[in-house]
Amino acid sequence: MSAATIDRALKKNREQIDGKKRRRSGVGSAIRRSVPVRTFADWGDPEPGFFEVDMVEHCGGIKQDGNFVHSLVLTDIASGWTECIAMPVRNQSLIVTGFAKVAALLPFPMLGIDTDNDSAFMNQTVVDYCQGKKLVQTRSRAYKKMTTFG
């Protein structure tokens, strides 16, 4: 069932709740708008210290509901240097703690992070950390995979 079909099927129920259409808005959307988009073509030849960041969920196959161990994976764009931090749950405070751990391990300064649009990264805790550490924070385009394969 497509999202549009679900919306049509639930239209009457939603109108009974408060009479308004639901739109994605709020703090998360404002933060996403404030973090600039950077595509693969925008990187050029960066110096070491700019990291592509993602989360890997270890759920044993098909994504399931529930809490699973995660890995916070940071890969330097210029050198390919990769650090992985184990996280017991997805949590924005644990993410910034992970950033700090990685920064302490690096032989070069951390200069910036590029994440996807996941709410684990697009939140005030991560934005404040990046601003406090003077890290450039960018994000990928929503719903666009950054593959280089044809």
In this predicted model, what pLDDT tens digit does every residue of 4-25 receive, in sequence order?
777 777 777 777 665 555 555 5
Eight-class DSSP state of 50: E
Q: pLDDT: is 134 or 31 the higher one?
A: 134
Torsion angles phi and psi, residue 75, rounded to 5: -120, 125
CB neighbourhood size of 55 (10 A) = 17
Q: pLDDT: is 2 or 57 the higher one?
A: 57
Asked if residue 53 lies in contact with residue 113, where contact means CB atoms within 8 angstroms, the answer is yes
pLDDT score of 148 more than 50:
no
Tokens 């210290």, residue? 49
Asked if residue 94 lies in contact with residue 32, where contact means CB atoms within 8 angstroms, the answer is no
CA distance 113 to 135: 7
- The pLDDT score that the predictor gives to residue 149 is 39
- The pLDDT score that the predictor gives to residue 16 is 67
pLDDT in tens, 90-147: 888 999 999 999 999 999 999 999 988 888 888 899 999 999 999 988 887 655 554 4
Tokens of 18: 């408060």
The CA distances from residue 141 to 39, 40, 48, 89, 122, in Å, are 7, 10, 23, 25, 13
Q: Which domains are assigned to the chain?
A: 47-58+68-145 (3.30.420.10)
Length of the chain: 150
- The pLDDT score that the predictor gives to residue 93 is 92
pTM: 0.69
- The pLDDT score that the predictor gives to residue 150 is 39
